[in-house]
Structure 1
Amino acid sequence: MSKLINPTLKAKRQEFADFLANSVPFLGEEATEALNDLVHATSETGKTGELNLKIKMKPIGGKAGQMELETDVKLKLPQPTRGKTILFSTPDNNLSRQDPRQQTLDGVRDVSQESTAQQQKELRQPEQRTAAAPLRAVG
């Protein structure tokens, strides 16, 4: 099979950006949105993403010079890393944040309860200020 040689001079060829902007309604806008989303997602996650622009072209037989175009913009965004959770299985085959085999001690609170209690204590009792020593001149 021989290679087809394009007879159009390079100086007369339409720029691809001009084709996107003028020939296919909304394709350039859609590709711009997708590119912006891709840049944002890859910057935020530090992972790889992908943008594919597909243009399918078919001459319409019997109609001089007419072409049928089918376009598609596909975006594959990277997914953020999800955290992991450790849960305990119960005798009823459910999941719980607290180990059902672990005994609880009265008066002992977990970290989130302690943090909440500390914040409430600070709100109820304003900070007591002590009288400051008078300032003295430094020579």
Structure 2
Amino acid sequence: MAGPKPFNDTLVQMRYGELHDDLTDALNDLVATVDKTQKAGKLVLTLSLKPGKGGQIEIADDLKVTKPKEEKSNTIMFATPEGNLQREDPRQRSFEGIRSVSQELQERQVASR
């Protein structure tokens, strides 16, 4: 009489290997998200077994992944007198001839080609 078959041997055979692939992808994605957010996540595999006919066992799997929520930054905008929103403060004066550093670098790169 042989001992118990290793769990991973059975897992690889379930749904012709698709469950194993799903678990691999889910775990990889979850690890990346937990690492990025530095928050906890969870992966839960539930196997439900019920007897079938002629000595069969029917196994249903349910994979649930709870990924941590990534924090999003807020957007700061300004209200115009007309009731619209815009990124620039409508009360701020603009100075003619002032250019951003990125504009200056782009123009230098184009000129040096």
Is TM more than 0.5 here?
yes
- Matches of 2:106 and 2:14, distance apart in 1: 64
Distance 1:82 1:16, change over 3 A: same
The corresponding residue for 1:22 is 13
1:52 and 2:52 equivalent? no
1:115 and 2:101 equivalent? yes
Distance 1:117 1:35, change over 3 A: closer
- Consecutive unaligned residues in structure 1, runs of 5 or more: 1-8, 126-139
Distance 1:91 1:22, change over 3 A: same
The alignment's TM-score, normalised by the length of structure 2, stands at 0.75
The corresponding residue for 1:86 is 76
The alignment's TM-score, normalised by the length of structure 1, stands at 0.64
The corresponding residue for 1:72 is 62
Letter aligned with residue 118 of structure 1: E
Letter aligned with residue 105 of structure 1: F
- Matches of 1:67 and 1:33, distance apart in 2: 27
Aligned length, in residue pairs = 110
Contact map agreement 2:78 2:88 (CA 8 A) in 1: yes
- Using the TM superposition, give the Cα deviation of residue 97 of structure 1 relative to its aligned residue in structure 2, in angstroms: 0.5
Alignment RMSD: 2.5
- Bigger share in helix: 2
- Consecutive unaligned residues in structure 2, runs of 5 or more: none
Contact map agreement 2:45 2:64 (CA 8 A) in 1: yes
Query: Cα deviations across residues 69-112 of structure 1 (Å, max 9, x unaligned)?
Result: 211222222333322221111223221001123333334x3xxx
Which structure would you say has the larger Rg? Answer: 1
